[in-house]
Amino acid sequence: MSAVDTPPGIAFAGRASGEFGCRRRPRRLAGRVFFMVLATSGTAAVLAVRRAPAQTTELLLAVSLMCASVAAVGYAVRRARLRVDADGVRWGWDDLGFRVTRDHITAIRVYRDAVAIEQQRGSTWYVSSRDWDLFDRVPGALRRAGLPLEVHDRRAPIGARLQSYGAVLDLLLVLDALASVFALGVALGL
C-alpha cells in the first residue's frame, strides 16, 4: 500500500468499476462538527489570548488546536472515497490516497457486512458496510474489476467488525465537539 499512488492531476489506472462515498449521516455529522468546532475553538482561543492569565492561555490554545485538528481529520476521513478499478482498490481523495494494487492482493474475502482485502505485506484492510454508502454494490465492482474474490455467506469475523472506524469516529467527533464547547465555556468564564 502506498500513501501517494499517483502525482496530482494524473488519471488513475483505467476506468473505475465502482466508486463509493461515506454514508450521508456520518458525513453530515463530520461536517457539522468540523464547522462548529472551528467556531467554538476559534472563539475560545481569541478570548483566551485577550483575557486569560498566561498558563490558562497556553492550555486553552492547546485544547483549541487539538479540537480543531481532530475535527479536521474526522471531516477529511468522511470526505474520502473508495474506488475499485482493474489495478486494485484505492481509499482517499483526488490528490492523496492509499492503494492496494492487484499484484499485492492475496485474497479478497466478501462477507455480508464487510470486505477483507488481504495483502502480501502489511495488515488486512477492512471495508465495512457501516462506513460506505451502497455497500451492497462493492462485491459487484470487485467482480467487474476482475479481482480475486472469496464469498462467505456470513457476517465478518469480530476482528473485522472491530476495525471498522465508523462508530468510533462518530463518537470521537461528538466528544471533540463537547470538549470544544467546554473550552469555550472556560474561556467565557475568565
Q: What is the value of pTM for the model shown? A: 0.81
Print the domain residue range for 51. 20-188
CA distance 167 to 173: 10
Three cell numbers written together for 144: 467487474
Q: Is residue 5 part of a domain?
A: no
Q: What average pLDDT does this structure show over 5-24?
A: 67
Nearest alpha-carbon partner for 63 in 33, 42, 32: 42
> What's the domain count of the chain?
1
pLDDT given at position 8: 44
Q: Is residue 165 part of a domain?
A: yes
- pLDDT tens column, 94-137: 888 988 888 899 989 999 888 989 888 888 888 888 888 898 89
- Burial of 153 (C-beta count, 10 Å sphere; 0-12/13-18/19+): exposed
Q: Is residue 53 part of a domain?
A: yes
Q: What average pLDDT does this structure show over 36-47?
A: 94
Q: Is residue 2 part of a domain?
A: no
Three cell numbers written together for 41: 475553538
Mean pLDDT score across all residues of the chain? 86
Burial 54-89 (b: 16+ CB within 10 A, else e): eeebeebbebbeebbebbebbbebbebbbbbbebbb
Q: Is residue 14 part of a domain?
A: no
Amino acid of residue 127: V
Q: Is residue 7 part of a domain?
A: no
Q: Is residue 11 part of a domain?
A: no
pLDDT given at position 2: 47
- pLDDT tens column, 49-100: 888 787 788 889 999 999 999 999 999 999 999 999 988 899 999 888 988 8
Which residues in 16-156 belong to E strands, given as ranges? 16-21, 81-85, 88-92, 97-101, 105-110, 114-119, 125-128, 149-151
Which range is most confident: 15-19, 35-39, 136-140? Answer: 35-39
